[in-house]
Amino acid sequence: MRTVYVNGEYVPEDQAKISVFDRGFLFADGVYEVTSVLDGKLIDFAGHVARLKRSLAELEMDAPCDEAELLAIHKRLVAENGIEEGLVYLQVTRGAADRDFAYPEAATPTLVLFTQSKPGLADAPAAKTGIKVISIPDRRWGRRDIKTVQLLYPSMGKMMAKAAGAADAWMVEDGAVTEGTSNNAYIVKGNTIITRHLGEEILHGITRAAVLRMASEAQMKVEERAFTIEEAQQADEAFVTSASTFVMPVVDIDGAQIGTGAPGPVAQRLREIYLDESRKKAV
Ligand code: PMP
């Protein structure tokens, strides 16, 4: 049984409870972060905390505690639950209040953290074969840059992918790819990595920021702009990034084989660099 953190307490998972009036439950009025764990250490913790602060600020939500305390909670859960490879999930909601659309004048934020053990995370078999994706319309709300817990459409997208025999879906809006259901999307043409520019249309991936920086340091060219599914199908390579899948090659989009149909050299190299560098800086 795991130890879970709920509002200041470390409790066995079957004793972790929050109010039925919690606004996270009633309105999806909450934000979250997922930080991966490798070698028992947190990957890019500073990046995740910075984005959490931004999400909270955009929603005028109070921070549940300071950064040092958040780090201490993460570390204690990783240690107590013996996580070598896996992740820490963190969620902050506006808290419990009588049901009303307007934000309550005073509510104490709810803070919940739990771990998931995922042995073999860094050595995922899918990274060796690459994954298939399908395209679907992007039907999410307009503030995707805020990492809210309203994940129903991404969930529907994963189910559509599953039904089509694919691992994930790339979402398309106004003719251009926004991102994957739970990751940022990239294509590679020659020595150039192309990924959608930042804005309210996509989540500002912590892995995206790290991978683009490492790509530039490795003398690869980076272009931040929108691209279409047709352009992606004709690219040399495609891949996605996220905190829990790192860099994952994409080898098929809507049934069209990408490049040779096997993970390409750029995606493979970026995965290696990302894992190496991140491990060195893990806390
Ligand atoms: N886009 C979406 C929609 C996501 O849900 C995620 C992962 N939470 C990402 C991108 C990747 O972000 P990160 O690299 O910070 O995990």
With pLDDT > 70 as the criterion, what percentage of the chain qualifies? 100
The pLDDT score that the predictor gives to residue 132 is 98
State the Cα–Cα distance between residues 231 and 221, nearest whole angstrom.
18
pLDDT at residue 106 above 90? no
Catalytic residue among 147, 158, 162, 221: 147
Rounded to the nearest angstrom, the distance between the alpha carbon of 98 and the centre of ligand 1 is 32
Mean pLDDT on 240-244: 98
Active site residue 147: yes
- Whether 3-117 and 126-281 share one fold: the answer is no
Mean pLDDT on 19-34: 98
Give pLDDT tens digits for 39-82: 999 999 999 999 999 999 999 999 999 999 999 999 999 999 99
Of 136, 146, 179, 183, the one to substitute when testing ligand 1's pocket (max ligand atoms within 8 A of C-beta) is 183
Domain ranges of the chain: 3-117, 126-281
The pLDDT score that the predictor gives to residue 226 is 98
State the Cα–Cα distance between residues 115 and 113, nearest whole angstrom.
7
The pLDDT score that the predictor gives to residue 55 is 98
Mean pLDDT on 156-161: 98
The pLDDT score that the predictor gives to residue 225 is 98
With pLDDT > 90 as the criterion, what percentage of the chain qualifies? 99
Q: How would residue 161 be classed by pLDDT, with cut points 50, 70 and 90?
A: very high
Q: Residue 197 in contact with residue 256, Cβ under 8 Å?
A: no
**Residue bearing the CA closest to ligand 1, atom 1:** 183
State the Cα–Cα distance between residues 244 and 159, nearest whole angstrom.
19
The pLDDT score that the predictor gives to residue 233 is 98
Q: Residue 2 in contact with residue 13, Cβ under 8 Å?
A: yes
Of 48, 203, 270, 278, the one to substitute when testing ligand 1's pocket (max ligand atoms within 8 A of C-beta) is 203
> Residues lining ligand 1, judged by CB closer than 6 Å?
34, 179, 182-184, 203, 205-208, 241-243
| Token pair 């493979």 in the structure block, residue | 268
For the chain, the three-class secondary structure string (H helix, E strand, C coil) is CCEEEECCEEEEHHHCCCCCCEHHHHHCCEEEEEEEEECCEECCHHHHHHHHHHHHHHCCCCCCCCHHHHHHHHHHHHHHCCCCCEEEEEEEECCECCCCCCCCCCCCCEEEEEEEECCCHHHCCHHHHCEEEEEEECCCCCCCCCCECCCHHHHHHHHHHHHCCCCEEEEEECCEEEEECCEEEEEEECCEEEECCCCCCCCCCHHHHHHHHHHHHCCCEEEECCCCHHHHHCCCEEEEEECCCEEEEEEEECCEECCCCCCCHHHHHHHHHHHHHHHHHCC
Q: How would residue 273 be classed by pLDDT, with cut points 50, 70 and 90?
A: very high
Mean pLDDT on 210-227: 97
Average pLDDT, the chain: 98
Rounded to the nearest angstrom, the distance between the alpha carbon of 156 and the centre of ligand 1 is 16
The pLDDT score that the predictor gives to residue 68 is 97
Residues in the chain: 283
Domain 3-117 carries which CATH code?
3.30.470.10
**Cα distances (Å, whole numbers) of residue 15 to 108, 154, 166:** 20, 29, 37
Tokens describing residue 61? 């939500």
pTM surpassing 0.85?
A: yes
**Is the domain 126-281 a CATH 3.20.10.10 member?**
yes
Give pLDDT tens digits for 114-158: 999 999 999 999 999 999 999 999 999 999 999 999 999 999 999
**Residue bearing the CA closest to ligand 1, atom 4:** 182
